[in-house]
Amino acid sequence: MSTVSSADRARAGLVTGFARQARPCFKHLATALAALAISLAGATPATATDVFLVASYDEKDACGQPQYEAAMDALKQAGFADLSSKGYFLDARVSSKEAVLKAVEQIKKDIRSDKPKLVFTIDDAAFAMLYEEVLQHPETQMVFTGLNRSLGYYNDKARFLDSRTPVANITGVFEYLFMRDQIGMLEAVLNHQLNKLAVLYSTDAIGVILKDQILDEVKGTPYEGRIVLFAAEDIPTMIKHAKAINDDDQIDAYIPVTMSVPDPADNKRKTMDLVAPMLIKNIRKIDLSLNSSFTEYGFFGGVSIDFYQMGFQTGFLATKLLKGGAIKDIPIEDAKRSIVAVNRKRMQDLGIRLSPEARSIVDKWID
């Protein structure tokens, strides 16, 4: 489904919502994974497997889980339910670098021994650590979902694309954040042009990648000069910045991109589900979610990527390959579907009243 242009939305003063495709019933992911996943802590000996699914984070991750689930759904709906599959979870948000690298080395060994037909990677960490290995095995195809770092960055290191056309055994779906649509809806809620928009980001790899992608998506628009950046190196710094965002009258709203923040209190990294209550407590302003799962943590929400649909879109590309399609005929795609999700409690707490027109485009209300 194509998106409505930002210009059209600006003229309308609203963001056009996308009706979310009803998804088929699928057993809870944890149950499905019991049959699919192997433990990275003690991997079993590799046997011939058709499909590897490698997730960057854990099996319950708000970003990765729906993509994983959807990719499996797409394969099943296309008649590939009998393919053997193996799932891996790098848990890169919280695991040590040494543990992640050890897990990746095991996956590489399994690729060499199993020679799978297909390797799915979910999000940047998995792709970044495996794509160069897969390029050495042309009999194995790789399909990625959820990449945020620029394709040019990866292609410069190891060429697999000419523009967006594959010249090797890799294709997939690039994650689009719909930032212009997000800000368009924000202005409709504010009922005035945006003054400033804060981006509060963690300094881990994915936090920086997402911050850069936000800046890239607003480049060349009137919003380019209205973004204010705050780097959260640790929890105390994050709280300090949160208070500064709250106290700055020129900042209308903020985007939490605090994906993994070190906490000196216990020397552990805090992910979004744990930092969300801290930010909500300290910032009395609209918090724009990069995905609807973050809206469930208590943020206001807005226009965001539909992770399930992106995963399904990726799975559909994979079915073309499994049916014998040439990878050069399956170019890289942007994620096509967004979802408008709003947390009703946060909206009420902030004293926001949406117009009937704005309410009509909300796909998902979260209570």
**How many angstroms separate the CA atoms of 254 and 197, rounded?**
5
DSSP H stretches of helix in the chain: 6-12, 29-36, 64-77, 97-114, 124-135, 151-157, 179-190, 205-218, 235-247, 272-282, 292-295, 307-322, 344-349, 356-360
The pLDDT of residue 64: 86
Judged by phi (left if over 0) then psi (alpha if -120 to 50, else beta), residue 44 lies in beta
Q: Based on the domain organization, do 207 and 229 belong to the same domain?
A: yes
Q: Based on the domain organization, do 355 and 245 belong to the same domain?
A: yes
Give 47-67 as a DSSP string: ---SEEEEESS-TT-TTHHHH
pLDDT of 45 over the 60 cut: no
Domain-located, residue 348: yes
- pLDDT (mean) for 48-56: 89
Domain-located, residue 73: yes
Count other C-beta atoms under 10 Å from residue 359's C-beta: 11
Domain-located, residue 195: yes
pLDDT of 289 over the 80 cut: yes
Domain-located, residue 89: yes
Q: Which of 82, 84, 88 has its CA nearest to residue 68?
A: 88
Q: Based on the domain organization, do 351 and 335 belong to the same domain?
A: no
Residue range 127-186, pLDDT digits in tens: 999 999 999 999 999 999 999 999 999 999 999 999 999 999 999 999 999 999 999 999
- pLDDT (mean) for 51-72: 90
Domain-located, residue 298: yes
- pLDDT (mean) for 42-63: 73
The pLDDT of residue 153: 95
- CA dihedral (308, 311, 317, 319) positive or negative: negative
Q: Based on the domain organization, do 215 and 111 belong to the same domain?
A: no
Percent of the chain with pLDDT over 70: 87
User: Distance between the two ends of the chain, CA-based, in angstroms?
Assistant: 28
Domain-located, residue 357: yes
Residue range 190-208, pLDDT digits in tens: 999 999 999 999 999 999 9
For residue 7, what pLDDT band results from cuts at 50, 70 and 90? Answer: very low
- pLDDT (mean) for 352-356: 91
Residue range 291-324, pLDDT digits in tens: 888 999 999 999 999 999 999 999 999 999 999 9
Q: Based on the domain organization, do 107 and 122 belong to the same domain?
A: yes
Q: Based on the domain organization, do 152 and 218 belong to the same domain?
A: no
The pLDDT of residue 360: 92
Q: Based on the domain organization, do 98 and 186 belong to the same domain?
A: no
Give 114-137 as a DSSP string: H--SEEEEESHHHHHHHHHHHHT-
Q: Which of 224, 179, 222 has its CA nearest to residue 335?
A: 179
For residue 14, what pLDDT band results from cuts at 50, 70 and 90? Answer: very low
Domain-located, residue 2: no
- The values of phi and psi at residue 36, to 5°, are -105, -40
Contacts of 215 (CB under 8 A, 6+ apart): 224, 227
Q: Based on the domain organization, do 27 and 92 belong to the same domain?
A: yes
